[in-house]
Structure 1
Amino acid sequence: MTTTATAEAAVGDKPKSERVLALDVLRGIAILGTLASNVWIFTSGFGTLRGSSAASSWLYNFSGWLPNGKFLGLLTIMFGIGLEIQRQSALRAGARWPGKYPVRALLLFADGVLNYIFVVQFDVLRAYAVVGVLVAFLLLTSERVQYWLIGLFLTVHFAVMAWQGHRSSVERPEMDPPPMDPTRMDLTRADTLPSDTISSSYLAEVVSNIKGLGWSFGYGSEFLTILLMGLGLFLLGAKLYRIGIFTEERRRLRFAMMSFGFGVALPLDYLLSMTSVFPSSLNQFARYGAAAGVALGILALTGEYIGRRGRVGAPRRMLSNVGRMALSCYLLQNVLGVLAQRLLFNRPFFQQLDPTYGTYAVFATISALLIVFSWAWLRKFTRGPFELAWNWSYRMLTREGRDTE
């Protein structure tokens, strides 16, 4: 095979620092956005001593819906962009592609397995690792073939979701969830935490997770769903970066993406999640379909905003720091959430808290910890702690003596 022609001229119009800032900010938004979605799982015990009225309020449901799936989609697209950046970097260095990238993917997969076993079961890293290896080789195909592959993979993804929804509605109609409960959002659910953080020991949960590891790759798992969705979104992210989505020449494309994301995908996501307009068998199309369209709008809006306001303000600097330590912050937010749920949130004080505003407070607290930690760490180091360990492992496995990007 031959590699596709790179479009480095297209992405090279802006100074490198501005391009990197936009990407780091987007990564930071994606990481904190996934926390905004998953934090409802950590706080699922809030309000249990207040009765059911608080948890059924419209604000509670809306607050859980708003981030759901959007930042998972954004994170997936950003992984595709990162893969294309690595490909272009390898070509500029005269190296073969994909070269040693499978080693990177193996390490990412190992991180995901450890995250699944010891922290939370709603892990995306394993799926991203597998998708990354597949897409790394697919990037060797022509531009036309990649366009067709994006359409093919997304079509298969939607078809599988439709089939799963149909089977669910036929086999278990009495178990259809009510519209929009933040703790029961499709496959990211409260039972994807270590299953009983109150009565069981941590060691017992680890053993249970090890026994269930094989099932986590099977039919109906979120791993398979993200795998199919990721193939299309990784290729789409790589394509967007290659054509220069963050350059001045692509402003019309960015506005088109914003129009689609916020004018079409967002209302559709709301109707699928928050209303009974569509049957419950189509609920997955919100988190793993329409929400990805909203993610395109977020990406375009962020790129346009940073392109217009070149100076680096405090909010963008904070988001950029989190983005530079994306892997560390992703893993750390899960660790903090599980520790808080196991050690604090099962106490009567938290069970009496309003679930909506209590969750807001937890999100703000964990976000602040991530922002402060990333700021303090990057004053001393160029990478986050997990990134440093990951890079050291990569160099050991590949026997490279120099630092790698």
Structure 2
Amino acid sequence: MSEVGGSTPGNERIVALDALRGFALLGIFLANIGFFSAWVLMNHDQQLALAPAWVVESWHGIELGLIEAKFYSLFSMLFGAGFALQLDRIDRRGGQGLAVFYRRMALLLLIGLIHMIVVWLGDILTLYALMGFILPLFRKLSEKALLVLGALLVFSPLLLVPLFDAQLSEWTGRTLWAGAFGWLSEQTGTPFMGPAEWIARPDFGSYLAWHGAGPVLRLANLLDGWRFPRVLGCMLLGMAFARMLLLNGRPLPIAALRNAALGGFAIGMPFCLWFAVVGGGPNSVPAIIGTVPLAIGYGAALLLWTSRPGSRLAAALAPAGRMALTLYISQSVFGILVFTGVWGGLATKVSPSGFVPLALAFYALQLLFARHYLAHHAQGPLEKLWRLGTYAGRGKALSARPAEAA
């Protein structure tokens, strides 16, 4: 079997993983900026008032077909891979590090809750932390069992949606969504006009009320999208991939990665293009079937590219992956400051031809910042805080390890 790597396969494998994490950050930002700008919250007529029909339709196809849910799925797999590396070290110590692992997850949960309430309600860290608490339950499973169980969870909405989606949507709509929107109206004394208009409102009271309702709105969103089984499934797949590709002491296998890339694109791309054409939301059949395979195709293709010794792309992306927590939250801060009505005020005022270049420009600045910062520091600022909190008062060394960036 052909393999990538030379004398230091371990370092190359970890750098490639960091580069993949840095790439996933870009996709997540492109998905999220549609919400920061309120573009995806506006109706079709509102969008056409800001951009020609071809721009509206083109971005709609690109967003649904190539971006939506693919990168949070990829990032979830990367979290699972990072957890697998940590749990492997715990198992090699005889299970003595589980308490540290749980403290790490508890602190991530706290960071995620602060991010959700103070910065942006679309936070994903809280869900990752909650799923992280139960990942040790699966650490004794074989790679095959992890793959099977992960796939069952990822595709479980194919069964769950027809059986329970109507009842779930009715409950979340009548209890969570309606309750949150009613609370917003009570807090401000004005009728709820819709998410896009609310984000664009310039009064600080509305801004604070929106963030106060954030946890309820986010829970409704996660439940409606069946995110809990999907994210856990992706994490289990990531754990299996990490064991097969990163914990065997060998360089990354080209043949296996090539097959994963070709298979992922062959299965995922037709269904995702179908989803882009017919729509139907994240619980539609083409979205459920196509999303994770395409995410695997993205990941395998990038690993093929970046795992080669001396890869310039890996050198550019890996620093961002090493400080993914810092950059992810800074993307949210950027989105809030630029778009919400009480700050930059661009929400509901710019089309994809405006917010996509903004996102790409800010991501390029993040790459430069990460490279410069890590040339002088072992970890990103929030990564260091996360580690300090995990080992507070326990005398542990705070040296950074690339594998722990997840």
TM range (shorter): 0.7 to 0.9
User: Where do residues 88-167 of structure 1 align in structure 2 (5 Å cutoff)?
Assistant: 88-93=88-93, 95-96=95-96, 98-143=98-143, 145-163=145-163, 165-166=165-166
Cα gap change, 1:259 to 1:376, in 2 (>3 Å): same
Aligned to 1:240: 241
1:39 alignment partner, one of 30, 33, 37: 33
Match of 1:217, as an amino acid?
Answer: L
Aligned to 1:320: 318
Residue 117 of structure 1 deviates from its aligned partner by 0.5
Q: Once the two structures are aligned, what percentage of the paired residues are identical?
A: 21
Count matched residues: 365
Are 2:405 and 1:402 equivalent residues in the alignment?
no
Match of 1:102, as an amino acid?
Answer: Y
Whole-Å separation in 2 of the counterparts to 1:125 and 1:283: 22
Cα gap change, 1:391 to 1:192, in 2 (>3 Å): farther
> Which runs of 5 or more residues in structure 2 are unaligned?
172-193, 402-406
Q: Is the 8 A contact 2:60 2:276 kept in 1?
A: no
Cα gap change, 1:62 to 1:291, in 2 (>3 Å): same
Residue 99 of structure 1 deviates from its aligned partner by 3.7
- 1:244-286 deviations in whole A, cap 9, x for unaligned? 279557433322221222112111011023226xxx3775455
Cα gap change, 1:271 to 1:145, in 2 (>3 Å): closer
Are 2:86 and 1:86 equivalent residues in the alignment?
yes
Give the helix-richer structure, 1 or 2. Answer: 2
- 1:12-40 deviations in whole A, cap 9, x for unaligned? 99522101111100000011110011112
> Which runs of 5 or more residues in structure 1 are unaligned?
1-10, 172-190
Aligned to 1:330: 328
Aligned to 2:346: 346
Q: Is the 8 A contact 2:157 2:283 kept in 1?
A: no
Q: Is the 8 A contact 1:40 1:64 kept in 2?
A: no
Q: Is the 8 A contact 1:273 1:283 kept in 2?
A: no
Whole-Å separation in 1 of the counterparts to 2:390 and 2:169: 45
Aligned to 1:253: 256
Whole-Å separation in 1 of the counterparts to 2:24 and 2:94: 32
Match of 2:208, as an amino acid?
Answer: V
Whole-Å separation in 2 of the counterparts to 1:193 and 1:80: 34
1:356 alignment partner, one of 330, 352, 355: 352
Aligned to 1:231: 232
Aligned to 1:180: none
Residue 52 of structure 1 deviates from its aligned partner by 5.8
Which TM-score applies when normalising by structure 2?
Answer: 0.78
Residue 224 of structure 1 deviates from its aligned partner by 7.1
Secondary structure of 1:254's match?
Answer: helix
Whole-Å separation in 2 of the counterparts to 1:378 and 1:336: 21
2:366 alignment partner, one of 363, 367, 370: 370
- 1:281-330 deviations in whole A, cap 9, x for unaligned? 775455555221111111111122233x31131x3222111101100000
Secondary structure of 1:243's match?
Answer: helix
Residue 370 of structure 1 deviates from its aligned partner by 1.1
Whole-Å separation in 2 of the counterparts to 1:248 and 1:375: 25
Whole-Å separation in 1 of the counterparts to 2:209 and 2:79: 31
Match of 2:334, as an amino acid?
Answer: L
Q: Is the 8 A contact 1:265 1:290 kept in 2?
A: yes
CA RMSD of aligned residues (A): 3.4
Residue 163 of structure 1 deviates from its aligned partner by 4.1
Whole-Å separation in 2 of the counterparts to 1:82 and 1:257: 20
Cα gap change, 1:210 to 1:44, in 2 (>3 Å): closer
Cα gap change, 1:139 to 1:89, in 2 (>3 Å): same
Are 2:270 and 1:267 equivalent residues in the alignment?
yes
Aligned to 1:76: 76
- 1:70-99 deviations in whole A, cap 9, x for unaligned? 111110100010011112223345553534
Q: Is the 8 A contact 1:261 1:296 kept in 2?
A: yes
Whole-Å separation in 1 of the counterparts to 2:115 and 2:236: 25
Whole-Å separation in 1 of the counterparts to 2:234 and 2:329: 22
Match of 1:233, as an amino acid?
Answer: C
Residue 113 of structure 1 deviates from its aligned partner by 0.7
- 1:132-153 deviations in whole A, cap 9, x for unaligned? 1111221134455434432442
Whole-Å separation in 2 of the counterparts to 1:163 and 1:151: 19
Whole-Å separation in 2 of the counterparts to 1:153 and 1:50: 38
Whole-Å separation in 2 of the counterparts to 1:33 and 1:127: 18
1:382 alignment partner, one of 354, 360, 378: 378
Aligned to 2:387: 391
Match of 1:272, as an amino acid?
Answer: F
Whole-Å separation in 2 of the counterparts to 1:164 and 1:281: 16
Whole-Å separation in 2 of the counterparts to 1:377 and 1:197: 34
Cα gap change, 1:149 to 1:275, in 2 (>3 Å): closer
